Amino acid sequence: MSGILYSVATPIGNLDDMTPRAIKTLSSVDYILCEDTRVSSKLLSRFDIHTKLIAYHKFNEKEQLQRVITDIESGKNIALISDAGTPCVSDPGRVLINELHTLNIKIVPISGACAVSTFLSVAPKNNEAYTFTGFIPRTQNEQEKFFEKYGNTDIIFYESPNRLIKTLENIRNYYSENIKVTVGRELTKLYEEIKSGKIIDIIEYFSKSQPKGEIVIMVHCSELYEENSNSMEISTYIKKLKTKGYSTKDISIILSTLFDINKNTVYETCRTI
């Protein structure tokens, strides 16, 4: 019988987040595939796990693929971990997982910490819809294409600390100074920080000192999209009411009552249409 591949989540910072099931699994498999043996050896030492570690990362995963498959087909049980968090979530493992599905080899997930789900549990949001994209493209031109593609839902992505301010500025320039963002930094660690608000305020905050550590960002595109949609809808109604002969004053009273918005805002919009 073929063996099993266990995809095991490990802590993203706080080692107390390691689950008993993860410890039991890593202790019992024949060997563990990991990104960096130096990083993972510290984790194993912390929990008195003595299983052999084998480097498996984006630079050698295709080379290691056949060896791993052969071992599993011969009956060995193998664990896959990343340096931190859940394998295959912006970490190596996708090539192996895809191939094992093709071969109908059993894969067992051992759930645990993940930066995205951890961040989502504390980030403010209006609904459950979001798009997670891993790391955001680096250049301004690529980022603008990225925002254009995903801009109707909240976007969540990873970014490095040295590019944080530049990316926030690109977001501000593409959307507006009022777009809301939430930034999570060093999640579960000693200096964990979650900041949410208008992007101009977030830029000012993180410009005071160079941020460090792993960073997750949410751009609250859905809120801006809803605001723009409401503005478009109000403009449409204003035009219709004007064609029926209603005065600016009457229109402002009608629409402010129907849509529960400020009467003066409607009045000023009427004057521009």
pLDDT in tens, 14-23: 999 999 999 9
184 and 237, same domain (yes or no): no
Residue 120 lies in a domain: yes
Same domain for 82 and 131, yes or no, is no
Same domain, 52 and 107: yes
Let me know whether 167 and 183 are in one domain: yes
- Residue after which a domain boundary falls, among 113, 133, 152: 113
Q: Examine the fold and report which residue of 45, 78, 113 is the final residue of a domain before the chain moves on.
A: 113
Domain count, the chain: 3
What is the C-alpha separation between 89 and 235, in angstroms, rounded? 43
Query: Do 100 and 122 sit in the same domain of this protein?
Result: no
Residue at 227 is within a domain: no
- Name residue 194's beta-bridge partners: 184
Q: Are residues 76 and 89 in the same domain?
A: yes
224 falls within a domain: no
In a domain, 228, yes or no: no
Which of the listed residues 79, 113, 147 is the one where a domain comes to its end?
Answer: 113
Distance CA 250, CA 241 (A): 9
pTM strictly above 0.95:
no
* 189 and 251 within one domain: no
On whether both 167 and 241 belong to a single domain, the answer is no
Kindly report the CATH number assigned to the domain that includes residue 156: 3.30.950.10
Question: Looking at residue 143, what is its pLDDT?
Answer: 94
Mean pLDDT score of the chain, rounded to an integer?
A: 91
| Same domain assignment for residues 108 and 134 | no
Q: Are residues 106 and 153 in the same domain?
A: no
- Asked whether residue 169 falls in the same domain as residue 209, the answer is yes
User: Is the pLDDT assigned to residue 232 strictly greater than 60?
Assistant: no
Could you tell me the residue range of the domain that residue 261 belongs to? 233-272
* pLDDT confidence bin for 169, thresholds 50/70/90: very high
The three-state secondary structure class of 268 is helix
Domain for residue 226, yes or no? no
How far apart CA 8 and CA 80 sit, in angstroms, is 6
pLDDT per residue over 120-130, tens digit each?
999 999 889 89
Residues 75-87 have pLDDT tens digits of 999 999 999 999 9
Residue 13 lies in a domain: yes
pLDDT at 1: 82
> CA distances (Å), 173 to each of 71, 141, 143, in order?
52, 12, 11
Residues 121, 188, single domain; the answer is: yes
**Given the DSSP bridges, would you call strands 107-110 and 5-8 parallel, antiparallel or unpaired?**
parallel
Alpha helices by DSSP H, the chain: 20-28, 37-46, 61-73, 94-102, 115-120, 140-150, 164-174, 199-207, 221-243, 248-259, 263-272
Query: Which of these, 109, 154, 119, lies nearest to 133 by C-alpha position?
Result: 154
pLDDT value, residue 228 = 52
Beta carbons of 212 and 164 less than 8 angstroms apart: no
